[in-house]
Amino acid sequence: MLNEYFFQTNISGAELDELLSKGWRHFGEYFFRYESSFLETETGSLEQVQVIPLRICLEDFSFSKKQRKILKKNISFQVKRKLVEITNYKHELFAKHALRFSSNRPNSLFNFISTNPTFVPLPTYEIEVWDADKLIANSFVDITPQAFSSIYAMFDTDYAEYSLGIFTLLQEIEWAKSLQKKYLYLGYAYDKSSFYDYKKRFHALEKYNWQKDCWEKFQRE
Q: What pTM did the predictor assign?
A: 0.95
Q: Where are the domains of the chain?
A: 3-217
CATH superfamily name and code, 3-217: Gcn5-related N-acetyltransferase (GNAT) (3.40.630.30)
Taking the C-alpha atoms of residue 200 and residue 87, their distance in angstroms, rounded to an integer, is: 32
Most distant CA atoms of the chain, gap in Å = 49
Per residue of the chain (221 residues), give pLDDT as tens. 789 999 999 999 999 999 999 999 999 999 999 999 988 777 778 889 999 999 999 999 999 999 999 999 999 999 999 999 999 999 999 999 998 876 677 889 999 999 999 999 999 999 999 999 999 999 999 999 999 999 999 999 999 999 999 999 999 999 999 999 999 999 999 999 888 999 999 999 999 999 999 999 998 76
β-pair type (30-34, 25-27) = antiparallel
